[in-house]
Structure 1
């Protein structure tokens, strides 16, 4: 007489943990995101988990970050947030044959790509996206509205630069101007609460400065 048999299937999960390490997130956000990512890795069991930091592009986790504390993405890569690229590369990184899932930790302040387009693609592929929102950095109290200057200037010429900025309260300030990495002038100004329009005169002493 044959013994009864029970067939069971084990479904392993693949999780791409996308962590926003761009300059727009605060240090507190980054520390909390690191803790969440570490917790997901620690609880993975036999499942597949990969932490993918991103800013303008994704990057591999450094050897130091493997201990659980993520760092900001350095250079130009950290001065932008492309959620679309992060989601696409997170989906592409997961091995076939596992149940896919994405954990996205970000402040949502994208300035490149389209997260809506990437989420639509994830939906079409049947990949759930769990979002862990970050608070992001607080808005700066001093806000630069605009800067205008002549289209051309020649070495030795003095020319005006007009700056519009909004200050929350009266304050003394210093405006440091550079061109191509070279200092071209420093101006002390007294700001008033509200919108300030400042006109400063600068000169280019050498070509290309």
Structure 2
């Protein structure tokens, strides 16, 4: 089995852990551990911490070290440096909003499995040529929503998706019902107000709702 096939199997495993991967934007790394514990307690073990804030790598490091049952990865991976820093912090996977030749080359050299983003069938085909069968569909709602993704199921039957971007608890079932969707990504599980106030019970309840979507 080739390295890309091995990493794609890892991606498939994490995509099947729960129906939703929370997309987390965290401003205070001190919130990372209680937040992650609340998500895991609610049945959501896979956590994507986006590299959009200065606290992100410290948050990944803390979750990886202290939260049993959590599978933490980095989101908004754009460069080889991002992949290296996330891996060093303890990330188990990486997610990108799109792709570039340099990022894909860096992913080939990295131990981290990558879930790369696409918004068109042409982008999906290009990644399929490189061995990627598990992709992020982003931004899911603005790019065409579940109807577009459903239309890809027949001509691109090899590919499974994690649609992310504009999805909510109420719209997630439309995506999860598709044969080519394994999970969705969503920021609604960790809203900024609950992170700021330390409402871990509230986040656990949101996680339980999300875990119950299947």
TM-score greater than 0.5 by the shorter chain: no
Which one has more relative contact order, counting CA pairs under 8 Å at least 6 apart?
2
What TM-score do the two structures reach when normalised by structure 2? 0.25
What TM-score do the two structures reach when normalised by structure 1? 0.26
Structure with more of its chain in strand, by fraction? 1
